Amino acid sequence: MLDPLDSIHIKVKRKHRTMFLLCYPDETVGTIRDKISAMTGRDGAQFRLLHGKLTLTDEVTVKAAKLQNGDVVHLVYKIEGKEEFEQPDVTSLQPATVTDGSAQTMLGGTLDQTAPK
């Protein structure tokens, strides 16, 4: 029996959609692919899973792929009529530097410095 304390959550992202999956270290990427297929209604052969710059293969385990709690995996679909896959839609966040008094803080993303009305 799988112990829930050993589980991790990963975020699977495609364009403006994020799915959250519960996974276990000994589960294979193929099992994750099956879960995603069930959620999206797409055949697993029609998409790839990317972690960083790596394409995850079905026989690799979550542990071997070095997936950790909260990691993002990008879902990319095969381009219709072609043997290639779409590029992941990754929005790059540039750090914003904010000066508050004498302290300087680095924040992820951008900061709206407009005063509230």
pLDDT in tens, 46-95: 999 999 889 999 999 999 999 999 999 999 999 888 888 888 876 644 45
Q: Around Cβ 59, how many Cβ atoms within 10 Å?
A: 9
Choose among 36, 38, 61, 59: nearest CA to 47: 36
Domain ranges of the chain: 4-77
In which band, very low, low, confident or very high, does the pLDDT at 2 lie, cut at 50, 70 and 90?
low
**What's at 29, amino acid-wise?**
V
CA gyration radius, the chain: 18
CA gap 27, 25 in Å, rounded: 6
In which band, very low, low, confident or very high, does the pLDDT at 107 lie, cut at 50, 70 and 90?
very low
In which band, very low, low, confident or very high, does the pLDDT at 5 lie, cut at 50, 70 and 90?
confident
- Give the distance, in angstroms, between the CA of residue 97 and the centroid of all CA atoms in the same chain: 26
Query: Architecture of domain 4-77 in CATH?
Result: Roll (3.10)
pTM of the model: 0.71
